[in-house]
A and B are shown apart, each in its own frame.
Chain A
Amino acid sequence: MSIEIRNVTKQFGEVTAVNRVSFTVSDGELVGLLGPSGGGKTTVLRMIAGLEMPTEGDIFIRGQRMNDVPVQQRNIGFVFQSYALFKNMNVARNIAFGLKIKKWKKADIEARVAELIELFGLTGLEKRYPHQLSGGQRQRVAIARALAPKPSVLLLDEPFGAVDAKIRQELREWLVTLHHELNVTTIFVTHDQEEAMEVSNRIVIFSRGNLEQIGTPREVYEQPANEFVARFVGVMNVLDTEVRGGIARIHELEFPSNGHPEGSRLRIGFRPYAVQISNDLSLLPYRAVLRHTFFLGIMLRLELELPSGLILRSRMTKEEYAQLGLEDGREVSFQIKNYRILASENAKLAPEMESHYQPPPTIGENI
């Protein structure tokens, strides 16, 4: 394995930014650290780089313990959120900086810079200064500069945070292509779950300094380890129910209690795609009014209002929508195909979004 984080804790004064986190990244992997801001993901990235020192725990890169190795000798490439290009140097000198410091031969530096300029599509911009570049160009220079000394790990802090939405999408695809070509172990930080899902081989999810789950995008989406992950990755309908007469109820909705005792409270979650809609009012068990339709491109998001006032979110393709002849204000029938119990009262139901909560044994059970 390329990088190992073992039981790492980081405290800033009284604040615990990272709390006993352990994970490993294999050679050549592209891993996204995902979480809300203040979750500790950037601190983890900076500790791998050596820009922050862990309060406790160990960091290994290629089997070598890095705690006492200064940032200069860790052989990492770091791309800052602001790109941090050297303002007083042009593109070529920015890229060459690390090579000059490492005392490469002049001819080798020139060859390497030329190679990177070509690879990153910066031809013709060699003599430009950072303030003469567009956001996307700046980012490519920053990545080229970080990669120039051939680091064993590439670390990127919010790499797409500073460019506008149009270029963002293209840059994501470009990063995946680049990673495919260079095959350098890459870790990036993002607060955008869509970005993490699209780009990463695996995602590490943080919240309030704790590691919540590691897995492929599919795993964290389909088998979230806990309520935080379930709610943070993708959209989810969340309902608090109470078991009465062997059935968990909220307003008109009913779910099997799965052996939870009478009177206990269950927090139930289901993805929008689990809400199946029909225009035949007698076909499916529940009724609702289609309150609003959001057009998101190929997919549409539908807001259903139940007679009790409860709002649920569903989604379907444009074609399905047209087939059913739906429009805002129409009455429909629906069912919930599958759901999961996110929390139950016996497990000491944690407050919303609390991260430390341990999943009860029923997690992952679908109907």
Chain B
Amino acid sequence: MAGIAKQKLGAGYAKSQRGTEESPLAKWTLITIAMLFCLVFLLLPLANVFVQALSKGWSVYVQSLTHPDSWAAIKLTLLVAAIAVPLNVIFGLAASWAIAKFEFRGKALLITLIDLPFSVSPVVAGLMFVVLFGLQGYLGSWLQEHDIKIIFAVPGIVLATVFITFPFVARELIPIMQATGTDQEQAALTLGANGWQTFWHVTLPSVKWGLVYGIILCNARAMGEFGAVSVVSGHITGETDTMPLRVEKLYNEYQGEAAFAIASLLALLALVTLGIKTYLEWRQHREYELAQQSAAAESSDTFLESKSKNE
């Protein structure tokens, strides 16, 4: 015990004597600059969204949100996210599984393609769909003949959103699956499990937190996407306006409070997303620390010693 206490004291002493320690002045100057930046450029604008939204009181705020056109925008946004997120979860699981567990030709190409939506401007992404499905587009006349509306309708918005949020789940899962390898799955097979049982009991639980993380990021982007959706939606009030589009329209029509009211919902979504993300990271960190502690505690293995003494 005395030895441990001494060690701790020693560590503290060494820290204060570190040669690389900056002077308190430099330290506090840097901290102040960083804090000020966050305050001015991040916190103030965010707080302002809520202040503006509530500037004319709760009743106006609630009225703005329940206005039929705004309410339609909220419902459309939820619908789009409800379609786009599950699709990208399925795609993300399939793609990350394929990339992490199999060797095949075109793997590098697939990884690059998954990142494509990150590198393409959202407006260009929207235009691609217009060129493909629009009235003047390659498939436009065929779609019209069969009375299928994609551009300036909900399917177009869903397509654009799926495209934009494509990488989020896959990007989260690929490194986790690569790190896990295939040993656990193979072990499940040798114990008699079939493919589905292996996926359900072994693969899915091992990527659980990464998957949740990917889903909340994917959802945040799906609800918040502006550029690509703006190009394909056609801005039909009450029909093809999502929340971000509605915010822009209201703002351009000088209805500041209503615009900020909807913006406050999106901002709230962002805060919740950040909250969940922080919680997940804290959780993972804690699990890691627990593992470290127990590894240290269990470094001496008493079973074999006692066993050999008995014999």
In the complex, which range does the number of interface residues on chain A fall in?
35 or more
B295 touches A98 (CB 8 A): no
Given A72-B193, A72-B194, A87-B206; A134-B188 close (CB under 8 Å):
no
Most A C-beta atoms less than 10 A away, residue of B188, B298, B303, B306: B303
Residues of chain B with a CB closer than 8 A to A145's CB? 187, 191
Residues of chain A with a CB closer than 8 A to B192's CB? 72-73, 98, 101-102, 149
Residues of chain A with a CB closer than 8 A to B112's CB? none
- Residues 75 to 120 of chain A near chain B (Cβ within 8 Å): 76-78, 80, 82, 84-88, 97-98, 101-102
A78 touches B298 (CB 8 A): no
Interface-forming stretch among B155-163, B197-205, B243-251? B197-205
Count chain B residues whose beta carbon lies closer than 8 angstroms to a beta carbon of A: 35
Rounded to whole angstroms, the CA-CA distance of A146 and B186 in the bound complex is 12
**Any A CB within 8 A of the CB of B29:** no
A101 touches B303 (CB 8 A): no
Residues of chain A with a CB closer than 8 A to B300's CB? 134
**Any A CB within 8 A of the CB of B308:** yes
**Any A CB within 8 A of the CB of B307:** yes
**Any B CB within 8 A of the CB of A171:** yes
Residues of chain A with a CB closer than 8 A to B201's CB? 86, 97
**Any A CB within 8 A of the CB of B101:** no
A149 touches B191 (CB 8 A): yes
Rounded to whole angstroms, the CA-CA distance of A149 and B189 in the bound complex is 13
Rounded to whole angstroms, the CA-CA distance of A131 and B194 in the bound complex is 26
Rounded to whole angstroms, the CA-CA distance of A243 and B181 in the bound complex is 56
B184 touches A87 (CB 8 A): yes
- Residues 236 to 271 of chain A near chain B (Cβ within 8 Å): none
**Any A CB within 8 A of the CB of B291:** yes
Residues of chain A with a CB closer than 8 A to B187's CB? 78, 80, 84-86, 145
**Any A CB within 8 A of the CB of B145:** no
A97 touches B308 (CB 8 A): no
Rounded to whole angstroms, the CA-CA distance of A145 and B189 in the bound complex is 13
Residues of chain B with a CB closer than 8 A to A41's CB? none
B190 touches A170 (CB 8 A): no
A88 touches B208 (CB 8 A): yes
**Any A CB within 8 A of the CB of B271:** no
Q: How many whole Å from A4's CB to the nearest CB in chain B? A: 20
**A98 CB contact (under 8 Å) in B186, B191, B287, B305:** B191
A82 touches B183 (CB 8 A): yes
A134 touches B190 (CB 8 A): no
**B291 CB contact (under 8 Å) in A132, A137, A171:** A132
B303 touches A140 (CB 8 A): yes
**B189 CB contact (under 8 Å) in A51, A132, A177:** A51
Chain B residue at minimum C-beta to C-beta distance from A80 = B183
Residues of chain A with a CB closer than 8 A to B205's CB? 86, 88
Q: How many whole Å from B308's CB to the nearest CB in chain A? A: 7
Rounded to whole angstroms, the CA-CA distance of A140 and B304 in the bound complex is 11
**Any B CB within 8 A of the CB of A174:** yes
A134 touches B186 (CB 8 A): no
**A137 CB contact (under 8 Å) in B183, B193, B298, B308:** B298
**Any B CB within 8 A of the CB of A121:** yes
B301 touches A97 (CB 8 A): no
B190 touches A77 (CB 8 A): yes
A137 touches B303 (CB 8 A): yes
**A72 CB contact (under 8 Å) in B189, B206, B306:** B189
Residues of chain B with a CB closer than 8 A to A97's CB? 188, 191, 193, 201
Residues of chain A with a CB closer than 8 A to B306's CB? 121
Residues of chain A with a CB closer than 8 A to B191's CB? 97-98, 101, 145-146, 149
Residues of chain A with a CB closer than 8 A to B206's CB? 86-88
Rounded to whole angstroms, the CA-CA distance of A98 and B298 in the bound complex is 27
Interface mask (A116-152 → B, CB under 8 Å = 1, otherwise 0): 0000011000001001111111001000011001000
B197 touches A167 (CB 8 A): no
Residues of chain A with a CB closer than 8 A to B290's CB? 131-132
Residues of chain A with a CB closer than 8 A to B186's CB? 51, 78, 80, 84
Q: How many whole Å from A268's CB to the nearest CB in chain B? A: 43
Rounded to whole angstroms, the CA-CA distance of A136 and B194 in the bound complex is 29
A121 touches B303 (CB 8 A): yes
Chain A residue at minimum C-beta to C-beta distance from B185 = A84
- B-to-A contact residues, CB < 8 Å: 180-181, 183-184, 186-194, 197, 201-202, 205-206, 208, 287, 290-291, 294-295, 298-301, 303-308, 311
**29 CB < 8 A contacts A-B:** A71-B189, A72-B190, A72-B192, A76-B190, A84-B184, A84-B186, A84-B187, A86-B184, A86-B187, A86-B202, A86-B205, A88-B208, A97-B193, A101-B192, A101-B197, A102-B192, A131-B290, A131-B294, A131-B295, A132-B291, A133-B294, A134-B298, A134-B299, A136-B301, A136-B303, A137-B298, A146-B190, A170-B308, A171-B304
Lowest 6 CB-CB distances: which A-B pairs, in order? A98-B191, A84-B183, A88-B205, A132-B294, A131-B291, A121-B303
